[in-house]
Amino acid sequence: MSKINKAKVLNVLILIFATFPIIPNSLKGLPVILLFVGALFIFKKHKFNWKWLLINSSLFIVYAISVLYTNDHSVAFKKLETGLSILVIPITFFGLLTHFKVSNNLKQLFIKIFIVSTTLFSILSSFYIIFYNSSLNYIWSTDKYRNIIIEMPLIGQHPIYASIFLAISIIFFFYLFKQKLFKNYKEILLFLTLVLINLVLLLFLSSKGVILALCIIIFFLFILTNSKKTHKYLTIITFIFSLIFLFIYNRRMNELVSAQTYEEFNPTLSTSVRLGIYDCSWTIITKQLFTGYGVGDAQRELNLCYSNKSDLLLMHRYNSHNQYLDIIIKTGLVGLFIFLGFLLINFRYAIKNRNHLLVMILILYCILFLVENVLSRQSGVILFFFLICFFNNSERPLVKSI
């Protein structure tokens, strides 16, 4: 293959990830495999970038070490299989493709395709909910909508992961808009329409953590990029009224400010259930603080605590619903410090290179890690580590920095 053909093949393999929201769940890992195999054929003899390879695969290494002292090895190896992308994606970008630099054109095309594919996911899920049950009362029920979207054939997602797709597409739009990367007003209008469709679905799903994280990112984006005081004041006022509207008129958001949520354990309130989960998480963490229980025994320890607290928690076998707590339970404070180091080093690199898109993605996920085990499923772990490695390896913007 000529150099040009190799580059084209590599670009196509990367752009497959832009269709991630609509790739069938049984094939979510296929883009990782295709890119890895393609990189093997394109590979040139050169030194691995061991620094970034080890930094970005450090979580998998810590998980693998924990297998040595965990009891349930069958569960442990299943967890490692789910998280294998944590190792494979960094090897692909920082081992096999160190000679490759993501061009600005490829980055922009990736972003636009991702927005389109996310909108297609929104449209398909909306049609599915309508045809699933014709009752309008059923359609406007957030909880039922969240349950039905899980059951959607082929591309059905847990609401948190679907919401992450939607939030990222909205961030992508603001990035393109602020960087003035749209060709004309028609293209702006087109993508604005697509993003509004995604925003509607995001509000339907009402994933509290994703909505709050997105609001915070957009708020600071407008505050930092607007020099006029009137624009800043308008942004602040809009932000405050938007939050007030969400907390008052959305039941799931209202739980966060309701006294009933915090008075006692209430299985009918999702936030109250989370508090019960966090209570058990902290209880077992204090018993094995430094090394954790290993990737194979974390859920078992949580279930033992649930059995003394709530039949509901035990029946659903909830995970810790906090990525940081999950890492402590599995690998202790040692694992947490390594994971935080991975985040901070990437964050510092992004700021140093004025990679604002990578900064926003990191902030989004760092906030989401507080309320969800994002890296417990392939839909979460593949997209997160691909975006980190992909934008870490991209060229600086040619236009004026935001």
Residue 398 dihedral angles phi and psi, to the nearest 5°:
-85, -20
Q: How far apart are CA 255 and CA 208, in angstroms?
A: 10
Closest CA to 162 of 130, 119, 116: 119
Question: Among residues 96, 126, 135, 271, which one has the least CA distance to residue 200?
Answer: 126
Residue 312 to residue 387: CA distance in whole angstroms: 36
pLDDT given at position 363 = 94
The residue count for the chain: 402
Chain-centroid distance of CA 214 in Å reads 12
Q: What is the pLDDT of residue 400?
A: 43
pLDDT of residue 179: 85
- Provide the token pair at 52: 């970034």
Q: What is the pLDDT of residue 22?
A: 96
Cα–Cα nearest to 28, from 97, 95, 84, 76: 84
pLDDT digits (tens, 9 = 90+) for 94-138: 999 887 888 889 999 999 999 999 999 999 988 887 776 654 455
Q: What is the pTM of this model?
A: 0.90
pLDDT of 245-290, one tens digit each?
Answer: 555 555 555 555 555 555 566 665 667 788 889 999 999 999 999 9
Low-confidence ranges of the chain (pLDDT < 70): 1-4, 132-143, 223-270, 395-402
User: Which two structure tokens, joined as six digits, stand for 175?
Assistant: 């990035």
Task: Write down the pLDDT at residue 399.
Answer: 43
